[in-house]
Amino acid sequence: MEFFTVEIDQKIATIKLNRPPANALARGVLDELSVVLDDLESNGDVRVLLIRGEGRFFSAGADIKEFTEIQSDQGFTELAQRGQKLFDRIESFPKPIIAVIHGAALGGGLELAMSCHIRFASETAKLGLPELQLGIIPGFAGTQRLPRLVGAPKAAEMMFTSEPITGKEAASLGLVNHAFSEEILFEEAYNLAKKIAAKGPIAINAVIELLQYAKGSLHEQGVEKEASLFGKVFVSEDAKEGISAFLEKRTPEFKGK
C-alpha cells in the first residue's frame, strides 16, 4: 500500500491515511481505499473499522493539482461518480466504520467522514466544504449528506461561505457524535470500537442495512444530479480561475462565466 496502513487488534482495524502534507484525496487514494475495504470486508477477524489521518490532518480535501489534468465536464462527472460510489459503499459497509477527525476534514475529507457510520472529532478540528471558494462545488455527495446531518439552513451557510466550523460546534450540530481534546481523541474512539466489536456481527449488519432506508427518497437522484453539475461547474471560467488562484495563492476574481 502506498497511501494506507492497516493495523488489526482486538477485532478492530485501524486504517491510517498517509499522504503528506494534507492527506489529499487523489484518484489513487480512492482506488487504494477501495482495495483496503475489500480486504477488511472479507476478514473474519475484523468487526469494526477506524479511519484516521496520519500527520497534521484527517484530510484537507481533494487533490486540487489533479483537477488541472481533467479537460472535460464528463471527466469531472466521472470523478464525482467514482467518489460517490466509494463513499456510498462506506455508508453501507457491513461492518461499522468510525471516522476519527483531527486537524481538518475539509472538502472531500469531510465528505469521506460523513459517509462513515460514526464520527469523533477533536474539539479544535476544522470541518467544512470550502469548494465554492474555488468556484466549484462538492462532488462526493457532500451536498446531500451535509443537509441530512446539520439541516438545510446550516448546510447552506457552510457551503455558501466556505467557512469551516470547529469539532466542538460540529458535535453540537450533530455533524459528529462527540468532540474531545486531541490528546484523548483516538483513545475514546477506540474504546467505542471495542464496545461495538463485542456485539453480534449479524445484528450489527442488519442495523447497517436498515439505516440505509433512512437516507430519504431523493438521495439517489440528488447524488446523480450533483455529479452532473460537478462536471458542468468544473469547466466554467470561474472554476478555472478559482483553481488557478488557489494554486497561485491569490484571491480569485469570479466573473459568473
Domains defined for the chain, CATH in brackets = 4-184+193-197 (3.90.226.10)
**In the structure, what pLDDT confidence band is assigned to residue 91 with cuts at 50, 70 and 90?**
very high
Burial 138-168 (b: 16+ CB within 10 A, else e): bbbbbbbbbbbebeeebbeebbeeeebbbbe
DSSP letter assigned to residue 215: S
**pLDDT recorded at residue 66:** 87
Cα(201)–Cα(48) distance, integer angstroms: 10
In this predicted structure, what is the pLDDT of residue 161?
A: 98
Average pLDDT over residues 126-151: 96
Question: What local confidence, expressed as pLDDT, does residue 223 receive?
Answer: 86
Whether 209 is catalytic is no
* Residue 110 φ/ψ, nearest 5 degrees: -70, -35
Stretch 238-252: mean pLDDT: 91
pLDDT at 226 over 90: no
> Is-catalytic flag, 131?
yes
* Residue-level pLDDT at 7: 98
CA atoms within 13 A on the CB side of 255: 5
Task: Extract the C-alpha cell encoding 41.
Answer: 470486508
Q: Is residue 24's pLDDT more than 80?
A: yes
Instruction: Assign 99 a pLDDT band (cuts: 50, 70, 90).
Output: very high
The predicted structure's pLDDT at residue 215: 82
pLDDT range class, residue 156, cuts 50, 70, 90: very high
Instruction: Work out the average pLDDT over 116-136.
Output: 97
Of 2, 41, 69, 111, the catalytic one is 111
Secondary structure element (H or E) that encloses residue 8, with its range: strand 4-9
Exposed / middle / buried, residue 69 (Cβ in 10 Å: 0-12, 13-18, 19+): exposed
Per-residue confidence (pLDDT) for residue 172, from 0 to 100: 98
| pLDDT, position 71 | 84
SS (H, E, C) 61-77: CECHHHHCCCCCHHHHH
pLDDT digit string, tens, across residues 31-84 = 999 999 999 999 999 999 999 999 999 999 988 888 888 889 999 999 999 999
Q: Tell me the average pLDDT of the chain.
A: 94
Identified catalytic residue from 32, 66, 123, 131: 131
Q: What's the rounded mean pLDDT across residues 188-208?
A: 95
DSSP labels, 95-136: S-EEEEE-SEEETHHHHHHHHSSEEEEETT-EEE--GGGGT-
pLDDT value of residue 33 = 98
Q: Whats the size of the chain, residue-wise? A: 257
Mean pLDDT over 99-109 rounds to 98
Q: In this model, does residue 147 exceed pLDDT 80?
A: yes
User: What is the mean pLDDT of the segment spanning 197-209?
Assistant: 93
pLDDT for position 34: 98
Contact 199, 208 (CB under 8 A): no
